Amino acid sequence: MTEPRFPTKLPETDDGATLFSVPFPSELNEETLAGLKSMAPIIVKQPYAIDYIHSHGQDSPFFAGLANGRLLGRMDPTSGYTYATPRGHDMTTGAETDWVDLTRRPARVHAFTVCYFGSEEFLPECPFVLALIEFEGAHTLFLGRLIGVDPDSPTLDWIGMRVGLRFRRNSKFKPTDVYFYPLS
């Protein structure tokens, strides 16, 4: 069942003719009414679009930090347990965590993948590299995009690789406002 080198099947699309009528018995009687049970299903396209008004809430300083060239994590004030992805309260002590600057801490790739396919929103960006990043002194990881590597030649050697971080100049107020690249 080896996949052919070149596609032998056209991709399906959702466009096409708009249909306003379908075949139906010209006369309804016992026989034609019974026959309706075997009628093919009518399948209609129903567009659905929504704008959500999403608040970053207590995490807002993180996104403000990205817009100003700073990567912020949070830290439990007593234990020092440090979250590379912000978390308002510590999972062990229950205490409110404090903001901490991770921008200049040494960072490495902890795990990664190359996505050659994906969700609709990200299809135009394929292939892209997702990476979980570990920061020195932080106890949890941060999910980001890794660029500057060949997506067609992934290797486990990327794990453990030291990376630098850069920020988008025009912030989108998304976690992708920071991204990572290999340090030689």
Partner 1 sequence: MRTVYVVSGGVSKFAKARPDKTFQPVVKEAYDYAISDLGLEHRQFTEMVDGSVASYFSDHFARQLMAGIMIQDYLGLCPKPSHRVEGGGATGGICFQEAWKSVASGDMDICLAYGFETMSHVNTWKGNEFIALASDVSFDYPVGGFYSGYYAMMVTRHMKEFGTTAEQLAYVSVKNHRNAYHNPYSQKHERLTVEDVRNAPMVAWPLTRLDICVMSDGAAVAILASEEGLARLEKATGRRLDPLVKVAGIGRGTDAMRMADRPHQSYEQFLQQNLLPCEDTAETRAYYHDLWDHGFRYPGVHSFRAGRMASKAAYARAGISEPLKEIDFVELHDAYTSSEIQTYEDMGLCRYGEGGPFAASGKPFLANVDYGLAFSDGDQVGACAVNPSGGLIACGHPVGATGLMQAVFAFWQLQGTVAKHFKDDTLQIRDARCGAIHSHAGTGTYVTVSILERESAPHAKEIGS
Q: Which is nearer to partner 1, 17 or 40 (CB)?
A: 40
Q: Which of 21, 46, 170, 184 binds partner 1 (CB under 8 A)?
A: 46
- Write down the residue that tokens 């004030």 correspond to: 77
The torsion region of residue 126 among left (phi > 0), alpha (psi -120 to 50) and beta comes to: beta
Which H or E element spans position 75?
A: strand 72-75
DSSP, res 10 = P
Q: Are 138 and 107 in contact (CB under 8 A)?
A: no
Residues 15-34 contacting partner 1, CB under 8 A: none
Q: Which is nearer to partner 1, 68 or 113 (CB)?
A: 113
How many of the other CB atoms lie within 10 Å of CB of 59? 16
Does 54 interact with partner 1 (rule: CB under 8 A)? yes
Q: Which is nearer to partner 1, 27 or 70 (CB)?
A: 70
One-character DSSP codes across 149-174: S-TTS--GGGTT-EEEEEE-SS--SS
Residues 70-89 contacting partner 1, CB under 8 A: 83-87
Rounded CA separation 73/52 (Å): 26
What one-letter code names the amino acid at 43?
I
Site string for partner 1, 111-140 (x = CB under 8 A): xxxxxxxxxxxxx-x--x-xxx------xx
Q: Which is nearer to partner 1, 31 or 120 (CB)?
A: 120
Q: Which of 75, 107, 175, 180 binds partner 1 (CB under 8 A)?
A: 175
In angstroms, what is the minimal distance from the CB of 64 to partner 1? 14
What one-letter code names the amino acid at 106?
P
Q: Which is nearer to partner 1, 31 or 124 (CB)?
A: 124
Site string for partner 1, 135-164 (x = CB under 8 A): ----xxxxxxx--------x-x--xx----
Helix, strand, coil % in the chain, rounded to nearest 5: 15, 25, 60
Q: Which of 77, 75, 129 is nearest to 105 (CA)?
A: 75
Contact residues for partner 1, defined by CB under 8 A: 1-3, 14, 41, 43, 46, 48, 54, 56, 59, 83-87, 91, 110-123, 125, 128, 130-132, 139-145, 154, 156, 159-160, 174-176
